[in-house]
Structure 1
Amino acid sequence: MKNTIAERIFDFLKNFPPFDILNKEQLLKISTNVKVIYVENNTFVFKQEENPHQNFYVVKDGAIGLYRAIENDQILVDICDEGDIFGLRPLVQNDHYLMSAKANEESILYAISVDILKEIIASNDKVNKFLIASFSSNIKTPYAQNSTRHLFANVETLESNNSNLTDFRTAEYSKNPVTCSKSTTIKEAALIMSSKRVGSILIIESKNPIGIITDKDLRLKIATGLISIDEKVSEIMSSPVITVSEKITTAEAQIAMLKHKITHLCITKDGTPNTELIGIMSEHDIVVLQGNNPSVLMKEIKRAKDVNTLKYIREKASTLLKSYIEQRIPITFISNIISEITNAITVKAIELSLNEMDTKPPVKFGWLALGSQGRKEQLLITDQDNALVFNDVKEEDYSKTKSYFLLLSKKITEKLNIVGFEYCPAEMMASNPNWCLSLCEWNAQFNTWITKPTEKAIMMCTIFFDYNLIYGDKELVTKMSEFIFKTINSFEIFLNFLGKNALINPAPLGFFRQFLVENDGKHKDQFDIKSRALMPLIDAARLISLSHNFKDENNTIARFKKIAELEPQNKDLYLSCLDAFKILLRFRTEQGIKHNDSGRYIALDNLSKSEKLKLKSCFKPIKDIQDLLNIRYNLAQMM
């Protein structure tokens, strides 16, 4: 009697790698031993750090999300759908799972015994190469049609370029850190560092790390004569140290170093300062491992002497972005890195411009990034959006003060233009007198926009409310924020107008689930992913954050995370919006890199069926969040 179930499994698997390179006998053996598993929505198949199952999995129907825990944050790394394999690496390498796998919808999986696969590997070199490619990339690629299939078809090319695929491998570190006690003198510590030929020494107490001294400390604090070399190391050590687990990945290490502005991480048994020191990881270790490292770019920016050097570094950052996208690194990590580099370039442009001015600034000021840079979501090189705020001055000093800051702003925007950030066509830049204002003027402007919410005023709010201080006096910006929230609280109907604006672009699908495209103009029949997909999510996150008086974060992903905490009854909706935003942001970035443009307008004819389906899967959260806004802010009455 025929095994019809096995035949159906056979017919399915033969269309996907590596099963498509098996002979009939091998594939039939696998098909007859498959276990069919039904997984309910939001159910885990396995969790990070869990010991591996005896089977790996192929998605028959549905979708499985792969999540990576980074600094207590569950980051969606990938979505596996029809034909995708997951959970294979730990079985072959006899290691725990590096990610969690959870059903994003009801799913049917084929569970395949790794023992059968191992038998086939021994006699099929092509399957063996498939595994090598899989483990080298270490992350599944969501867009299987364009990425995964292509990847596995070019294993030799991949293997020759493995040096770039490092961000999610466990980072290497020195297992023999040089140490001393806090009673050691600085001179003794320096001699130890010299004899060991190392650039740092850790201070320990009961085997636990309590401080660190680097070459930089010796240069700045000892060589300058500020502190005697005969003092104890405790006088100049940096404390407390930043400690991490030995399982930290290169990506996590980079984020930690950037976040804390340090060059060394202490490795302890459990990742906390309260357990025994087992190693040290330096910025140099990551540079050696990865080559093109964001920390290196940050250092180059700080050392830059002219704008042409900044342009060169910005081009290297674009190359880094492309590399990260190709490696399928999580978009949250990419955004953090690229935003830090962009901000550092802006700071250097400001510093170079200040050096060109005849005098120092007459009063304190702040340089604000607006729009996507302000939200830390600017991955591709787009036009500038910035503003400047300066401290209030006496009426007789106003004209001279404003002229100073307009000249400074012109120098800064010129440098940013040379670097690659084009001038804003609408002149939303600090070099425009309208956006180079004193604190009092900014407050008056915000008050007008909020209390007289015309269509133009609301549009301005969506741009200027997403500001981020890049350089200058934080207190000025704090006062601006406090004024904005105070004014909104006294004129709450403003939020209704902001909500109405958030519904200008409806969910991107029309009748029969067709994409809503541009009807005319230069981009006729193209899909505007910015206006129709990203902006509705950005606008919704901003509006709800404002209604909660949430001042501390303007990044869309961070906003959705925060409001998910504040509104647990809507948590699933907000997290689905968060995931959709990540996917859409990555998709736009990929399209921009591919076509060397902003990635905003997409020719649907050039997309595969798989890509279209993945885009459409992001549109339901947009409709759902807009429905919520419509009800919450009574927007039907305002239409």
Structure 2
Amino acid sequence: MTNTIAARISDFLSNFPPFSLLEKDQLIKIASVVRVNYYEQGKAIFTKNEKAHDFFYIVHKGAVDLQKVTENQEPETIDKCDEGDVFGLRPLFAGENYQINAVTDEESVVYAIPINEFKPLAISNEQVGNFLMESFASNTRNPYSIDHRGKLISEEEGIGFKKEALFDLHPIPIVKKIVTVSPETSIKKAATLMSKKRVGSVIVVVDKKPVGIVTDVNFREEVVTGNISIDDFISDIMISPVICHSKKITIAQAQLMMMKHNINHICITKDGTPNTKVKGIVSEHDIMVSQGNNPSVLMKAINRANSTSKLNRIRSKIMLLLEGYLKSNIPLTHISKIIFELNDATIKRTIQRCLLKMDTPPPVQFAWMSLGSQGRKEQLLHTDQDNALVFEDVPEEKLEETRAYFLKLATKVTKRLNIIGYDFCPADMMARNPQYCLSTSEWKDQFSKWVTASGNDEILLCQIFFDFDIAFGDSRLTNAISDHIFDILKGNKVFLSKLAAQALRNPSPLGFFRQFLVEQDGENKDFFDIKKRGIMPLTDAGRLLILEHRVKNISNTAERFEKLAQLEPNNKEIYDACAYSSKALIKFRTKQGLLNKDSGRFINLEYLSKEDKIKLKRCFKTIKEIQELIKLRFETTYYL
């Protein structure tokens, strides 16, 4: 007679590796010995330093937080396990206690799989064995689905990041607080130093070069057991030779080295060999801690956040991630995509939560549009929120009632985004403003008026709204607006000429003798405005030229210039230079903002190095060249 419970468990397990790699009869055998455990929210499945269970686990329903324990003994979530995620397996194979906590984030059903039943299958099945090795090496529960589970996914579409973007490009903070001793130091003295300095290892050196390492494990196995006296030399229990690496070590590299050599610590030296001075140390614990700011972990945390305060705390971690990427000199293309997706997910989650707080569901379909830098996928720092809302057309008698619903929703959303860290727009260019909460037909009429009655104000509004990106809702509505915009611009050389004139309103920011032009008055007097004088001229130029070519769905400035380089090979050199300058200026502004804990817009030139000033001047030369191209092509100059 068929065991229906085992059959159902088998069907579930077959959807997830490593179980999907088993033969059917092997899967049934495993399913028949699985324990089905129910846990209430907040229940600990295992805790740090607890002896490893005879089982490992897979989430059937619900979610489980994996938590590291901070120095203050406070739990901090470093990963979240959803349906089909395996956890608690590594200690069983490594023969060690649990290094983290596993606590249910919500009411959960978890399958417990006996390791004694599973281990023979892992040894005999090469595919399963490879899966486990790759899982341990990359610290992912499912390394075979990096292209899917590793994506930062939005509601409608997502940008996937390769494993290297999540791991190989993510650096490990190196611990420089180290204790070094000579080989003749007594074990007792070394242990006393470790306790006093509150570190978990000591490096044995000769002429400041590492010859061995001793960790808590060595003390436990050699000294506490009585095999070696505390009065003996530290060299009697040290592990030698020392596995070393240079300071530019990444998470993936460190994990692979630790797995390969069966170690928990890597010594950091000047050239990555034991032949030079010790600079620091990386431990398995450091790797675990670094996962807390991993983008995929942050994405899960955002999607599960049930309060604005939680989203605000996650936002702080996103800033730490951004700062780490910049310090490691990771290409801005990678940084921008990751930070955009995290910002976008934050906006989505905020809207989702606000919809639940509304008295009724939306009366019609709608879409939330991000404008400005977020719409261009260039928003890295805490800046103003610029947004708008479009809703489906309704009969005239229902229009104001429908608008009132979405204005109420937008007020809730913008208020919470402000709490998270997105300041209110000073010009009130937000979806809570009735001027920017319109039906599809109203938006089409609005763009038609802006284009036909194109004074300076209308041109400026057009420029802002040409850079929108859908953040939430029905993409058909925003697509309809995009199609309308390109229809009314077709053959409209007069409007493009006016747009060109506006793109020239901020000329090259260098005056006579190639000096920076700074603000002449106001609270930012004598400061350099990198947004107005550096970033905006390139943004305006890229938007104008891409519209001239009628290219849709590219809003990022650097990507626009890269596309233009393909469309106009004869101007490839200048467009490539513009793409580079755009990324360089945004990166420079972001670094300044993180340094000064502000938007990074206004810069005190006195604190810039000569090298920074030279780099900026090169970018400004590019601005002058692209503006000369615009003047010639559109036969225009800026007018007031």
TM-score of the pair, normalised by structure 1: 0.59
- Checking the alignment, whether the CA contact within 8 Å between 2:58 and 2:84 is kept in structure 1 is no
- Which residue number in structure 2 is paired with residue 417 of structure 1? 418
- Which residue number in structure 2 is paired with residue 369 of structure 1? 370
- Which residue number in structure 2 is paired with residue 111 of structure 1? none
CA distance in 2, matches of 1:192, 1:568: 65
2:568 aligned with 1:570: no
- Checking the alignment, whether the CA contact within 8 Å between 1:499 and 1:629 is kept in structure 2 is yes
Shift of 1:602: 0.8
- Checking the alignment, whether the CA contact within 8 Å between 1:367 and 1:389 is kept in structure 2 is yes
* CA deviation vs aligned residue, 1:434-461 (integer Å, no higher than 9, x gap): 0000000000000011111100001101
Higher Cα radius of gyration: 2
CA distance in 2, matches of 1:255, 1:312: 26
Indicate how the Cα distance of structure 1 residues 215 and 359 shifts in structure 2: closer, same or farther if over 3 A, else same: closer
Indicate how the Cα distance of structure 1 residues 534 and 637 shifts in structure 2: closer, same or farther if over 3 A, else same: closer
Shift of 1:190: 5.6
- Checking the alignment, whether the CA contact within 8 Å between 1:391 and 1:476 is kept in structure 2 is yes
- Checking the alignment, whether the CA contact within 8 Å between 2:385 and 2:430 is kept in structure 1 is yes
Counterpart residue type for residue 545 of structure 1: I
Show structure 1 runs of 5+ residues with no match: 1-175, 201-213, 225-240, 268-279
SS, match of residue 520 in structure 1: coil
- Checking the alignment, whether the CA contact within 8 Å between 2:440 and 2:477 is kept in structure 1 is yes
- Which residue number in structure 1 is paired with residue 150 of structure 2? 257
Counterpart residue type for residue 438 of structure 2: L
CA distance in 2, matches of 1:372, 1:556: 10
Shift of 1:188: 6.1
* CA deviation vs aligned residue, 1:199-247 (integer Å, no higher than 9, x gap): 69xxxxxxxxxxxxx973599xxx99xxxxxxxxxxxxxxxx9xx9xx9
SS, match of residue 543 in structure 1: helix
- Checking the alignment, whether the CA contact within 8 Å between 2:375 and 2:468 is kept in structure 1 is yes
Counterpart residue type for residue 499 of structure 2: L
Indicate how the Cα distance of structure 1 residues 468 and 631 shifts in structure 2: closer, same or farther if over 3 A, else same: same
Indicate how the Cα distance of structure 1 residues 264 and 399 shifts in structure 2: closer, same or farther if over 3 A, else same: closer
Counterpart residue type for residue 370 of structure 1: L
Counterpart residue type for residue 515 of structure 1: F
* CA deviation vs aligned residue, 1:476-517 (integer Å, no higher than 9, x gap): 000000000000004232111111101000011122111111
- Which residue number in structure 1 is paired with residue 458 of structure 2? 457
SS, match of residue 390 in structure 2: strand
CA distance in 1, matches of 2:30, 2:471: 38
Matches within 5 A, 1:505-524: 505-524=506-525
- Which residue number in structure 1 is paired with residue 302 of structure 2? 301
Q: Which runs of 4+ in 1 moved over 2 A?
A: 176-200, 214-219, 247-250, 252-267, 284-291, 636-639
- Checking the alignment, whether the CA contact within 8 Å between 1:287 and 1:293 is kept in structure 2 is no
Shift of 1:324: 1.7
Indicate how the Cα distance of structure 1 residues 286 and 347 shifts in structure 2: closer, same or farther if over 3 A, else same: farther
Counterpart residue type for residue 257 of structure 1: G
Counterpart residue type for residue 216 of structure 1: E
- Which residue number in structure 2 is paired with residue 29 of structure 1? none
CA RMSD of aligned residues (A): 3.8
SS, match of residue 389 in structure 1: strand
CA distance in 2, matches of 1:367, 1:264: 25
Indicate how the Cα distance of structure 1 residues 637 and 438 shifts in structure 2: closer, same or farther if over 3 A, else same: closer
CA distance in 1, matches of 2:527, 2:404: 44
Counterpart residue type for residue 83 of structure 2: K
- Checking the alignment, whether the CA contact within 8 Å between 1:374 and 1:467 is kept in structure 2 is yes
Shift of 1:180: 2.3
Shift of 1:608: 1.4
CA distance in 2, matches of 1:527, 1:315: 27
2:449 aligned with 1:448: yes
* CA deviation vs aligned residue, 1:595-627 (integer Å, no higher than 9, x gap): 111111111111111111111111111111111
- Checking the alignment, whether the CA contact within 8 Å between 1:254 and 1:295 is kept in structure 2 is no
Shift of 1:407: 0.4
Counterpart residue type for residue 366 of structure 1: A
* CA deviation vs aligned residue, 1:7-27 (integer Å, no higher than 9, x gap): xxxxxxxxxxxxxxxxxxxxx
- Checking the alignment, whether the CA contact within 8 Å between 1:287 and 1:296 is kept in structure 2 is no
CA distance in 2, matches of 1:248, 1:574: 38
Number of paired residues?
417
- Which residue number in structure 2 is paired with residue 216 of structure 1? 83
Indicate how the Cα distance of structure 1 residues 618 and 345 shifts in structure 2: closer, same or farther if over 3 A, else same: same
Indicate how the Cα distance of structure 1 residues 285 and 497 shifts in structure 2: closer, same or farther if over 3 A, else same: farther
2:500 aligned with 1:499: yes
Indicate how the Cα distance of structure 1 residues 177 and 457 shifts in structure 2: closer, same or farther if over 3 A, else same: same
CA distance in 2, matches of 1:456, 1:479: 24
Shift of 1:192: 11
- Which residue number in structure 1 is paired with residue 339 of structure 2? 338
- Which residue number in structure 2 is paired with residue 467 of structure 1? 468
SS, match of residue 293 in structure 2: coil
Counterpart residue type for residue 495 of structure 2: F
CA distance in 2, matches of 1:248, 1:500: 52
- Which residue number in structure 1 is paired with residue 593 of structure 2? 592
- Which residue number in structure 1 is paired with residue 46 of structure 2? none
2:209 aligned with 1:316: no
SS, match of residue 635 in structure 1: coil
- Which residue number in structure 2 is paired with residue 180 of structure 1? 21
- Which residue number in structure 2 is paired with residue 399 of structure 1? 400
- Checking the alignment, whether the CA contact within 8 Å between 1:560 and 1:578 is kept in structure 2 is yes
SS, match of residue 216 in structure 1: coil
CA distance in 1, matches of 2:577, 2:497: 24
CA distance in 2, matches of 1:489, 1:387: 25
- Checking the alignment, whether the CA contact within 8 Å between 2:368 and 2:389 is kept in structure 1 is yes
Counterpart residue type for residue 415 of structure 1: R
Matches within 5 A, 1:46-445: 180=21, 187=28, 197=56, 216=83, 257-258=150-151, 290-445=291-446
Indicate how the Cα distance of structure 1 residues 263 and 504 shifts in structure 2: closer, same or farther if over 3 A, else same: closer
- Checking the alignment, whether the CA contact within 8 Å between 1:451 and 1:491 is kept in structure 2 is no
Shift of 1:338: 1.2
- Checking the alignment, whether the CA contact within 8 Å between 1:193 and 1:199 is kept in structure 2 is no
Indicate how the Cα distance of structure 1 residues 400 and 287 shifts in structure 2: closer, same or farther if over 3 A, else same: farther
Counterpart residue type for residue 393 of structure 1: V
CA distance in 2, matches of 1:192, 1:548: 64
* CA deviation vs aligned residue, 1:123-143 (integer Å, no higher than 9, x gap): xxxxxxxxxxxxxxxxxxxxx
Shift of 1:290: 3.9
CA distance in 2, matches of 1:514, 1:612: 10
Shift of 1:296: 1.1
- Checking the alignment, whether the CA contact within 8 Å between 2:322 and 2:339 is kept in structure 1 is yes
Indicate how the Cα distance of structure 1 residues 218 and 291 shifts in structure 2: closer, same or farther if over 3 A, else same: closer
CA distance in 1, matches of 2:317, 2:559: 27
SS, match of residue 571 in structure 1: helix
SS, match of residue 521 in structure 2: coil
- Checking the alignment, whether the CA contact within 8 Å between 2:152 and 2:299 is kept in structure 1 is no
Indicate how the Cα distance of structure 1 residues 289 and 382 shifts in structure 2: closer, same or farther if over 3 A, else same: closer
Counterpart residue type for residue 605 of structure 2: L
* Seq. identity, %: 46
